[in-house]
């Protein structure tokens, strides 16, 4: 989508309004509550706002939540009547709830989810969708936060890297060569001109500069390479037997950067053949080539150097219930916070591999219906991890014309957490998962929403089968309607 100048100006104007309100509160020495979403983009958004507030000497607190509901909003309401609340990376889908529970409160929403309902009158709402800009691809929650940070003070331009990480965390690399586009692209340019980021086209493996190649292959989950992702030993054997590359030379492990162009091509073709042999469409292999975003000021051996890996690290902290580590790292903490986050990352990767193996053990766990795949995480996959699992499966199941509806039980709450993902081809055909999940969840007294290609819902567990069946029908109907309408 081409973003017009007027749309950008209107968005920037609302970012300035938000910045002005923040300044007012800081000048009056009033507390600011930042509430943000627990995924990589949400943590990056909270980090961007947190760092900007520190720089202005603001008094603030950050809380990270998996979603907004009555309890969370009531908690915020009792936290301080005179405080300003800033919601980042969520809020736009819950305008009515916020209006009911926080009426007459001053609050700011910095989000990129599809807005649902009316913005409460005392709120400043910054969201690309309100200006005709695509919030699923062109700007992330961290990106919106960055626009406000920049409006607060030009020196915050160094936070453009964190906003880039947020956009990649939300899988917004949907432009050519898996690049960021739209307003994200201008944020990337800010980071590049500040000397903090570079990008180039290469094989998109994590740890290209420093890690042994077999580990690098095993760490790759987008796309998911069956039999290699998460499997270091199998990945080692693949390199030696199928590609003809020895991972070790004279006691030294080779990193990807040690390979010649010729060897890289051989590696790529071997993986492409391997993916084809697993029945995956040919365009999946192409996801392995694209823009690599490198944070040039980060130490080469840390997961912060590659922006996509940085995002995985943030997800690990958020989803393994240590989100404050992720926020602290986005605000510039390294040392102990990074060390602890690294441990979470190892644990997170191990757990995800375990979940994927478990799903593949029984065919009933990944079931193909007429129009969707249903992935049944039941009580085995933690609700915090079902989103990651769903994203990984979206590139590894054979039929790309079917979206994935994955769910897990939320322990002790009588709910299922649903995470739905679709590839872009379906959004191009008019499918909007955010809308479908919202309609289906509301029919069964649940709550749903999100973006066209990535959406979520919480639904009472007893309605699970009916909910899944309704989503199956709605997807079918929507795609047929679109086909008939051309």
Residue 387 as a binder of ligand C5P (CB under 6 A): the answer is yes
How far apart are CB 373 and Zn ion at their closest, in Å? Answer: 23
Using the rule CB under 5 A, is 138 a contact of Zn ion? Answer: no
Q: Which does 449 bind (CB under 5 to 8 A by kind): Zn ion, ligand C5P, none?
A: ligand C5P
Task: Collect all residues with Cβ–Cβ distance below 8 Å to 16 and sequence separation of at least 6.
Answer: 151
248 φ, ψ (degrees, to nearest 5) = -125, 135
Q: What percentage of the chain's residues is helix, strand, coil (to nearest 5)?
A: 50, 15, 30
Provide the 10 A C-beta neighbour count for residue 200: 9
Stretch that binds ligand C5P, among 229-237, 250-258, 298-306, 456-464 (CB under 6 A): 456-464
Question: b/e string for 79-106 if b means 16 or more Cβ within 10 A?
Answer: eeeebbbbbbbbbbbbbebbbebbeebb
Nearest CA to 33 out of 58, 73, 62, 71 is that of: 62
Query: Is there a contact between 114 and 435 (Cβ–Cβ < 8 Å)?
Result: yes
Nearer to ligand C5P, 156 or 172 (CB): 172
Give, as one character, the DSSP assignment of residue 224.
Answer: B
Q: What is the contact mask toward Zn ion in residues 32 to 71, using x (rule: CB under 5 A)?
A: ---------x------------------------------
Residues 57 to 116 in contact with ligand C5P, rule: CB under 6 A: 67, 90, 93, 113
Of 14, 36, 89, 164, the one binding Zn ion (CB under 5 A) is 89
Phi-psi category of 302—alpha, beta or left, where left has phi over 0 and alpha has psi -120 to 50? beta
Q: What pairing do the DSSP bridges indicate for beta strands 289-295 and 197-203?
A: antiparallel
141 binds, among ligand C5P, Zn ion, none (CB under 5 to 8 A by kind): Zn ion
Q: Of 213 and 471, which has the nearer Cβ to ligand C5P?
A: 471
225: nearest Cα among 270, 259, 266, 256: 270
Per CB under 6 A, does 137 bind ligand C5P? no
Does 419 bind ligand C5P (CB under 6 A)? Our answer is: yes
457 binds, among Zn ion, ligand C5P, none (CB under 5 to 8 A by kind): ligand C5P
Interface residue with ligand C5P, options 171, 359, 426, 454 (CB under 6 A) = 454
Q: Which residue reads 């292999």 in tokens?
A: 285
Closer CB to ligand C5P, residue 255 or residue 355?
355
In degrees rounded to 5, what are phi and psi of residue 228? -125, -50
Q: Which does 456 bind (CB under 5 to 8 A by kind): ligand C5P, Zn ion, none?
A: ligand C5P
135 vs 247, beta carbon nearer Zn ion: 135
**Least separation in angstroms between CB 195 and ligand C5P:** 31
91 binds Zn ion per the rule CB under 5 A: no
Residue 286: exposure state from Cβ atoms within 10 A (0-12, 13-18, ≥19): middle
**Contact with Zn ion (CB under 5 A) among 170, 173, 435, 452:** 170
Ramachandran area for residue 178 (φ above 0: left; ψ -120 to 50: alpha; else beta): left
Q: Which residues bind Zn ion (CB under 5 A)?
A: 41, 89, 141, 170
Q: Which residues bind ligand C5P (CB under 6 A)?
A: 37, 39, 67, 90, 93, 113, 387, 419, 447-451, 454-458
């Amino acid at each position: 989508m081409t973003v017009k100048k007027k749309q950008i100006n209107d968005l920037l104007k609302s970012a300035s309004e938000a910045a002005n309100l923040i300044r007012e509160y800081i000048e009056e020495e009033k507390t600011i509550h930042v509430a943000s979403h627990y995924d990589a983009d949400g943590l990056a958004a909270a980090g961007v706002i947190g760092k900007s507030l520190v720089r202005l000497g603001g008094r603030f607190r950050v809380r990270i939540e998996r979603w907004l509901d009555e309890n969370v909003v009531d908690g915020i309401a009792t936290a301080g009547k005179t405080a300003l609340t800033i919601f980042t990376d969520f809020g736009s889908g819950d305008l009515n709830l916020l209006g009911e529970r926080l009426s007459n409160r001053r609050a700011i929403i910095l989000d990129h989810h599809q807005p649902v309902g009316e913005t409460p009158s005392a709120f400043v709402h910054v969201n690309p969708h309100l200006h005709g800009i695509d919030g699923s691809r062109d700007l992330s929650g961290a990106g919106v936060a960055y626009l406000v940070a920049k409006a607060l003070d030009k020196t915050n331009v160094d936070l453009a890297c964190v906003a880039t990480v947020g956009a990649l965390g939300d899988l917004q690399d949907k432009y050519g060569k898996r690049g960021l586009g739209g307003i994200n692209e201008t944020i990337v340019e800010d980071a590049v001109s500040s000397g903090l980021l570079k990008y180039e086209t290469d094989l998109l493996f994590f740890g290209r500069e420093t890690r042994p190649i077999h580990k690098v292959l095993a760490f790759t989950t987008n796309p998911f390479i069956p039999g290699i992702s998460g499997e270091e030993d199998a990945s080692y054997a693949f390199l030696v037997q199928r590609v003809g590359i020895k991972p070790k030379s004279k006691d030294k492990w080779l990193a990807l950067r040690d390979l010649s162009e010729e060897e890289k091509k051989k590696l790529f073709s071997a993986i492409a053949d391997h993916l084809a042999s697993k029945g995956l469409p040919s365009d999946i292999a192409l996801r392995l080539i694209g823009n690599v975003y490198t944070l040039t000021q980060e130490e080469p051996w840390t997961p912060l150097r590659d922006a996509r890996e940085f995002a995985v690290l943030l997800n690990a902290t958020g989803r393994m219930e240590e989100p404050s580590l992720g926020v602290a790292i986005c605000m510039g903490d390294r040392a102990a916070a990074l060390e602890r986050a690294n441990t979470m990352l190892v644990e997170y990767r191990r757990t995800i591999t375990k979940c994927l193996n478990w799903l593949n053990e029984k065919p009933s766990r990944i079931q193909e219906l007429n129009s969707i795949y249903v992935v049944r995480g039941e009580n085995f996959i933690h609700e915090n991890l079902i989103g990651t699992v769903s994203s990984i499966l979206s590139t590894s199941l054979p039929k790309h014309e079917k979206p994935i509806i994955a769910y897990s039980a939320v322990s002790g709450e009588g709910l299922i957490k649903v995470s739905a993902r679709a590839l872009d081809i379906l959004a191009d055909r008019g499918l909007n998962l955010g809308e479908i999940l919202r309609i289906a969840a509301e029919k069964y007294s649940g709550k749903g929403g999100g973006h066209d290609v990535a959406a979520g819902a919480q639904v009472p567990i007893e309605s699970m089968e009916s909910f899944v069946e309704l989503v199956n029908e709605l997807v079918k109907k929507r795609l047929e309607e679109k086909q008939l309408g051309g």
